[in-house]
Amino acid sequence: MNEELFRLRAQHVEITKRFINNGWIEVYRSGNDSEIEAGIYCCLVSPDNLNKYLEDRDWGIHWGSEGHPSVITHFRDGGKVTEYFRFAEEGLEPFIYPKWFTHVKERYVDVSQEFVNYFKLYEQASSKQKRSYYFIDDSGDTEEVIHVTERQVRIKLKFLNEYLAVRKMHLSLCFDFMIVTDEAGAGSAFIPKDEDFISNSFHYNHLIRVVPGIGDKPLQSWIIGKTMLKFDAAKSGKFWFDLDEDAHESFIIGYDDDGTEKLVRCDSEDYKFFTPVYFKKEVLNKYYDNPQKYEVDGFHIKSSFISLKMDNNNTDYVMVFLNDLTMLPQKEQLHWKHHNIAPQTGMGMSGAYYDTMVLGNWARDSDSVDVRFKAKYHRFNKKWFGKFGWHFYKELTGSDPQHFSALHLPSENNVRAFCEQILILVKATVDSLNEEMLVKGLSKIENEKGIAKLERFLDIRSIQIPDMITFLRNLQDLRSGMMAHRFSKSNKNCQKALTYFGLTEHNYRQVAQDIFIKSLFTLNTFSKLFLDETEEFEG
C-alpha cells in the first residue's frame, strides 16, 4: 500500500479545501474510495449554536436519523404539554437526506427542498439515483446547480454560498475517513498518533493505532470530525431575484463633436424616443442557432423569456431603438453590446420596419430577402393547397420546421455558414417537391428525379422556364457536391454548379443572397402562373 494513502494525506487536503473543487462543493459521499472507507455528510448550523457545536467533533445529526421531526411531551405549569418540533436537534438543520428502503432495496439521496425552491431549480432525472437540478436565468439559459448520484451529492458553490448568506446559517461538512491494513501495507507510515485539529472553523481528530481482534489487518488510520463553510454576512441582503435597476448597458448611438463614439445607457430619458442603435448581423447567430428556444423574424426576437423589437430587414445590420434594449436581461444586453457598431452613412430604418412597427401598417413585407422568402414560402404553399388540394412542397416534419424558421442569410462570409443555410433552403424546396402529385396521371419514367418531374409538370401545361430549371438543377448539384457528400474536385456536376454561381472563398454571403433572391423569384413565378398573384422583389 502507498504509505501516503495510509496517512490519509489526500483527505487532509480535501478537508483543508472544504471539499471544494472547480467551483463545486461535495456535500455527501458514502462508500469505499479505493481502499478507504469514506463518508461526507452535512447540516446547517445556526450562528447562535456555532461555538457550542465546535466544542467537540461529533456531527450532531447523522444520516438515517437526520433531524426527523419530533413530537415531545413535557411538563409545564403542572401539566403535560405536547409540542411538534421541525427538527429534533436544536440549532441544527438537515440539508441532505440519504434514504434506504429495505422493502425494495433501493437507495437514493434528496437535497433540501427549501434550497431547491429558493432557486426554482428544474429537475432532470434518469432515475432517483441519478438526478441534476438546473437554475434557469432571465434569458432562459440553464446552469447545473446540483448533481446527485446514489452515493454522492455535489452543489455549485456560488449558489450554496448565497443560500447560506440569505438564511444566515453555516454549513457543517462532516467527514469520516478510515483505512485498515497490516504492517506491510502501512510500512513506515505507521506511527501511532491521536491528534486533534481545532480552530474556530473545524474540529477533527486523526487517530492511528492498533486495533486488536479485527483479523489480519489490525492497523487503523482514521479521521473523523467536521469543518465549517460559514456564511458571508456582507451578502445576506442580496438575493438572486432582486432586480438591479442600474443593470443597464450603454450603447453607441453616434459621435460626439470631437469625433469619439457617443455611448448612452439604454434606459436614458434624454434619448428615449426612436433613437436607433445598430448591430452586426452576427448578433442574431445565437438565436438562429437555437430555433427550439428562439423565434426570429423581420421585426422581433421572441422566446418564453425575452421579447425584443428589432429591424431585421436590412442585409448588413440590425437596428434596435435604444430604449427597447431595456427589455433584455443584462446578460443579453452584454451580448448585444459586443456586436454594437457606430452608425454609418446609408444606415437607417427599413421601410418595412417603419411601415409595420411605427405606422402600424401590417400589409408590407420585409425588405430582407431571407425574411421575405420564408413568409412567401408559407403563404404560397397554403394558397396552393387551398386551390389544388395538395401541397406543392411537402409539409416539413420533425425538426425541419424549426430549422426552416432559423433559415437566414449568412451573417458571416465563410463556407460553414453558407453550407448550413443553403442545405436548409434546398431541403425545404428542391428536396420537398411533392413529386407524387407533380406527375400524378402522367406516365412513369424510371429513375426520374424531382426537378425532372417538375419540368414535366410544367411541360404538360406548355410552360417553359429553362432558366429556372437550370437554377434548380445547379442548386441541387451544389448541395449534393458541397454539403450532402464529401467534396471532390472530380465531381463534374458540382464544379459546374460552382461556376454557375460564381462561388469563391471570398463571396459566400453574396452568392447566398443571390440564391435567396432566385428562390424567391421561383415562388413569385409559380404564384403568378398558377395562383394569379403578382409580386416583385428586386433584391
pLDDT of residue 95 exceeding 90 = yes
* 245 falls within a domain: no
* 537 falls within a domain: no
pLDDT at 243: 52
Phi-psi region of 114 (alpha: psi -120 to 50; beta: other; left: phi over 0): alpha
pLDDT at 63: 72
Domain stops at, among 297, 327, 358: 358
Q: Where is average pLDDT lowest: 12-16, 186-190, 307-311? A: 186-190
* 492 falls within a domain: yes
Tell me which residue range forms the domain holding 354. 250-358
* 257 falls within a domain: yes
**Residue 299 sits in the same domain as residue 384:** no
Are 67 and 87 contacting, i.e. CB atoms less than 8 angstroms apart?
Answer: yes
Domain stops at, among 183, 204, 235: 235
* C-alpha R_g of the chain: 34
Q: Where is average pLDDT lowest: 210-219, 258-267, 321-330, 481-490? A: 481-490
pLDDT of residue 487 exceeding 70 = no
Give the H or E element holding residue 136: strand 130-136
Percent pLDDT > 70 in the chain is: 93
The average pLDDT across 345-367 equals 83
Are 66 and 97 contacting, i.e. CB atoms less than 8 angstroms apart?
Answer: yes
**Residue 218 sits in the same domain as residue 108:** yes
- Per-residue DSSP letters for 71-130? EEEEEETTEEEEEEES-SSTTEEE-EEEEEETTTTEEEEEE-HHHHHHTTPEEEEEETTE
Q: Could you tell me the pLDDT band of residue 538, with boundaries at 50, 70 and 90?
A: very low
pLDDT of residue 539 exceeding 60 = no
Give the model confidence (pLDDT) of 374-403 as tens digits.
999 999 999 999 999 999 999 999 999 999
**Residue 390 sits in the same domain as residue 346:** no
Q: Could you tell me the pLDDT band of residue 80, with boundaries at 50, 70 and 90?
A: confident
* 466 falls within a domain: yes
pLDDT at 241: 61
Give the model confidence (pLDDT) of 144-182 as tens digits.
999 999 999 999 999 999 999 999 999 999 999 999 998
pLDDT at 426: 95
Q: Where is average pLDDT lowest: 55-64, 89-98, 357-366, 479-488? A: 479-488
**Residue 315 sits in the same domain as residue 389:** no
pLDDT of residue 484 exceeding 90 = no
**Residue 413 sits in the same domain as residue 310:** no
Domain stops at, among 235, 264, 285: 235
Averaged pLDDT of the chain: 90
Q: Where is average pLDDT lowest: 10-14, 88-92, 366-370, 420-424? A: 88-92
Residues 6+ apart with CB under 8 A from 495: 481, 489
* 241 falls within a domain: no
**Residue 305 sits in the same domain as residue 254:** yes
**Residue 456 sits in the same domain as residue 487:** yes
**Residue 420 sits in the same domain as residue 522:** yes
**Residue 141 sits in the same domain as residue 222:** yes
The average pLDDT across 226-234 equals 94
**Residue 400 sits in the same domain as residue 312:** no
**Residue 215 sits in the same domain as residue 133:** yes
pLDDT at 336: 97
- State the burial class of residue 87 (Cβ atoms within 10 Å of its Cβ: 0-12, 13-18, 19+): middle
pLDDT at 67: 59
Residues 6+ apart with CB under 8 A from 490: none
* 242 falls within a domain: no
pLDDT of residue 464 exceeding 70 = yes
What total of structural domains would you count in the chain?
A: 3
Please tell me the distance from the alpha carbon of residue 377 to that of residue 375, in angstroms, as a whole number.
Answer: 5
* 495 falls within a domain: yes
Whether the full predicted model's pTM is greater than 0.85, yes or no, is no
pLDDT of residue 311 exceeding 90 = yes
**Residue 34 sits in the same domain as residue 168:** yes
Q: Give strand ranges (E) for 368-435.
A: none
Are 251 and 263 contacting, i.e. CB atoms less than 8 angstroms apart?
Answer: yes
**319: nearest Cα among 303, 343, 335:** 343
